[in-house]
Structure 1
Amino acid sequence: MFLKMKRLFPFFLLAVILASCSEYQKVLKNEDVKAKYDMAEKFYDEGDFKRANRLLEQIAPKYIGRPQGERVMFFLADSYFQTRDYNMAGYQFERFLKSYPKSDKAAEAGFLGAKSYYKLSPKYSLDQTDTDKALIKLQNFINAYPESEFLVEANIMAKELTTKKERKEFEIAKQFNTIGEFDYTFLTPAVTAFDNFIADNPGSVYQEDALYYKFDAATRLAFNSFEYLKKERFNTAKSHYNALKKQFPESNYLKDAIKTLEKIEKELQNYSK
């Protein structure tokens, strides 16, 4: 008996699914707003956000100004988020907050809206317009809801995006330095780019790297300068070494930096005679 039931179970399950689909299609096509609302809520609660979303899209305009409007609008925005349509999720959460700024769901909506833009942030090497937008949204959320249960996660995301932007800026400066190995005219903008990065991002995880590569670029610039510029530029490079050693006395770059410094000191001896 048990074996027979086990064999029939897949067919029973298929019949249930087909019946559910048939009912869904029927409700989707009719004009009964209440039936759509009830089914959308059922699908949402079950985690079937795709089907819930289609129904909610249809009924959301009908509930504007009605008591259930707040609930429908939040469900709609969240169903976009859950189905990874982050552009629409961000937009709909913004609409929700404008319509219901005092809602019990306002903090969650603010967080999920910001997180939607966070999800749209591309890898560091691409245009960071969406990253900038996400940072603004996250900062707005942090300022508006400092006691929120989502605050820790919001700060983590903001830190991650900030580090991503820092990496892009650092890599651009580093690229100037790399090209400078073949074209020395790129070494001056490399030093300037590292200078700007260090000044603009004092707490960056790339601060140590930037200090070392600035020293490296300045040293190569000095070696490849006209004779009358060399002494000054070697001394400048030496000051960059001192800055690296002062801020990061245990730097992983220190061994290589000391070897380079020895070459600088040897060159400077020529100007002390």
Structure 2
Amino acid sequence: TQKAINALQTFINTYPNSERITQSNNLMDELRLKLEEKAFQQGFLYYNLRQYQAAIYSLDNMLKDFPDTKRPDEVRYYIIKSAFEYAANSVYDKRKERYEETVQRGEDFVQRHRNSDYLREVRDIVAESKAKLKLLENERYQIQSSRNGS
């Protein structure tokens, strides 16, 4: 698909006055949409396979590669869900920073996508992440207290 896009771009650059410029541009747009969909499906597959770190990485790259995507809220929603699950399944020492990242991504989502269908669920994930952070903080405090008391 990328080779076809490159070939069409070469054609457009070589023959800028051709009658087929509009047709070539339309075809390039279709091919870019295919690449975008493939990138989303790849990230979504990682999510479904519970490979949450790979899903985050893949979907972040999709947003970089296709900044004009028509569904940025859906992509970010799956990034946030992946970040939450990644934090929940992390070793204890990594959970705090990963829940903090989930909160940060969720709050960014709320600012960017105020009318999204995913807004309520993202707010729930942020609230749950904050609750997990509070629990982690309480556990650390109790551990420190028991060490200092012994």
Query: One fold, TM greater than 0.5?
Result: yes
Residue 169 of structure 1 aligns with which residue? 39
How far is 1:195 from its partner?
2.0
Question: Would you say 1:150 and 2:20 are equivalent positions?
Answer: yes
Alignment CA distance shift 1:156-1:242 (3 Å): farther
Task: Render the CA deviation track for 1:63-105: whole Å, top value 9, x for unaligned.
Answer: xxxxxxxxxxxxxxxxxxxxxxxxxxxxxxxxxxxxxxxxxxx
How far is 1:166 from its partner?
1.4
CA distance in 2, matches of 1:197, 1:165: 10
Task: Identify the match of residue 217 of structure 1 among 67, 78, 82.
Answer: 82
> Aligned runs of 1:123-202 on 2, under 5 Å?
131-180=1-50, 186-202=51-67
CA distance in 1, matches of 2:65, 2:3: 19
Q: Give the gaps of 5 or more residues in structure 2.
A: 139-150
> RCO higher in 1 or 2 (8 Å CA, sep ≥ 6)?
2
RMSD: 1.9
Number of residues of Structure 1 aligned to a counterpart in Structure 2: 138
> Aligned runs of 1:44-193 on 2, under 5 Å?
131-180=1-50, 186-193=51-58
Residue 236 of structure 1 aligns with which residue? 101
Task: Render the CA deviation track for 1:8-36: whole Å, top value 9, x for unaligned.
Answer: xxxxxxxxxxxxxxxxxxxxxxxxxxxxx
How far is 1:211 from its partner?
1.3
Greater C-alpha radius of gyration: 1
Given that residues 84 and 102 in structure 2 are in contact (C-alpha distance below 8 angstroms), is that contact kept between their aligned partners in structure 1? Answer: yes
Output the TM-score relative to the length of structure 2: 0.80
Output the TM-score relative to the length of structure 1: 0.47
Task: Identify the match of residue 260 of structure 1 among 125, 138, 142.
Answer: 125
Given that residues 194 and 214 in structure 1 are in contact (C-alpha distance below 8 angstroms), is that contact kept between their aligned partners in structure 2? Answer: yes
How far is 1:160 from its partner?
0.9
Given that residues 163 and 205 in structure 1 are in contact (C-alpha distance below 8 angstroms), is that contact kept between their aligned partners in structure 2? Answer: no
CA distance in 1, matches of 2:89, 2:100: 14
How far is 1:142 from its partner?
2.1
Residue 72 of structure 2 aligns with which residue? 207
Residue 144 of structure 2 aligns with which residue? none
How far is 1:176 from its partner?
0.7
CA distance in 1, matches of 2:21, 2:113: 32
How far is 1:272 from its partner?
4.5
SS in 2 for 1:139: helix
Question: What percent of counterpart residues are identical?
Answer: 27
SS in 2 for 1:154: helix
CA distance in 2, matches of 1:145, 1:208: 38
Q: AA paired with 1:133?
A: K
How far is 1:206 from its partner?
4.2
SS in 2 for 1:135: helix
How far is 1:161 from its partner?
0.4
> 4+ residue stretches of structure 1 with deviation over 4 A?
none
CA distance in 1, matches of 2:12, 2:71: 25
